Amino acid sequence: MSRSATHESAPATAATRTQLLAAAAEIFAERGFRNATVREICRHANANVAAISYHFGDKNALYAAVLRETAPAPAGGPHAPDSQATRTLPPERKFRLFIREFLKRMTEKGPNCHHSRIMAREMIEPTQALDDLVNEFIRPQHQWFQEVVRELTGPGFTAEEIRLMANSVVSQILFYKHCGAVIERLQHRDPFAPERLHQLERHITEFSLAAIHTLAAARHTAKPTRRRTPPKSTQPSTPR
């Protein structure tokens, strides 16, 4: 049989595997593990349906390979937390940068954002990959962001309160990703439309900073008179 389509480049096998990974990354990012089908991925990759089993083993193994191949460098999170450049920024700049990068990764469709978009799908439709994703990406990022929030608030807040504030910020971004179908119907437009993205970023940032600064100011103002919570600044963070 004629095989001109799939044999147009030398090492064809490498080409097929690469095409499968690329197609899978896009489709998993768009639909999630469950709704993405083997047949659709192979159609996009211009490959036979057996190719996934041949090259990767099964659908699960393909998904795991996609996660490995699309993962950012270990130090490269949304914030590049170990980056010298970001480490020395003032907390509010880091805060703004985090929101901007997070929104960007939720909205852009380029290959650099597949991993983040797959993680957004994992959050609401978990697979067996979620444990690793949480341990390797979500937890470190979230902890880094909590540190930023802590720098913003100054002392006086428990670890739990810091976490709740960080959650409140993150939730405002994920909402547009996860509930896009509702927002499209409520507002008759793409929640991440480029012309609106700047306003959305600005709103989330200002809303969150307003809340954090105000709560911090209230805490610092209230501290001298507050007796109901004994001083606990030397207590360790809430254990895992």
Contact track, DNA, 75-114, x by CB under 7 A: ----------------------------------------
Expressed in angstroms, the distance from the first to the final Cα of the chain is: 59
Residue 32's nearest CA partner among 66, 78, 72, 71 is 66
Locus of tokens 């004629």: 2
Segment (H or E) for 181:
helix 180-187
Q: How far is the CB of 152 from a copy of itself (least distance, A)?
A: 13
Number of residues in contact with a copy of itself under rule CB under 8 A: 48
Whole-angstrom Cα distance, residue 47 to residue 69? 19
How many CA atoms does the CB half-sphere of 88 hold within 13 Å?
2
Q: How far is the CB of 60 from a copy of itself (least distance, A)?
A: 18
Distances (CA, A) of 193 to 101, 103, 183, 204, 211: 16, 12, 12, 15, 26
Token reading at 91 = 């907390």
- The site partner of 52 among DNA, a copy of itself, none (C-beta below 5 to 8 Å per kind) is DNA
Q: Is 133 in the site for DNA (CB under 7 A)?
A: no
Q: How far is the CB of 222 from a copy of itself (least distance, A)?
A: 12
Q: Is 12 in the site for DNA (CB under 7 A)?
A: yes
* Complex with DNA: residue 32 or 191, whichever CB lies closer: 32
Q: Is 188 in the site for a copy of itself (CB under 8 A)?
A: yes
Among 8, 9, 37, 184, binds DNA (CB under 7 A): 37
Whole-angstrom Cα distance, residue 98 to residue 96? 5
Residues interacting with DNA, by CB under 7 A?
1, 3, 5-7, 12-17, 36-39, 47-55, 58-60
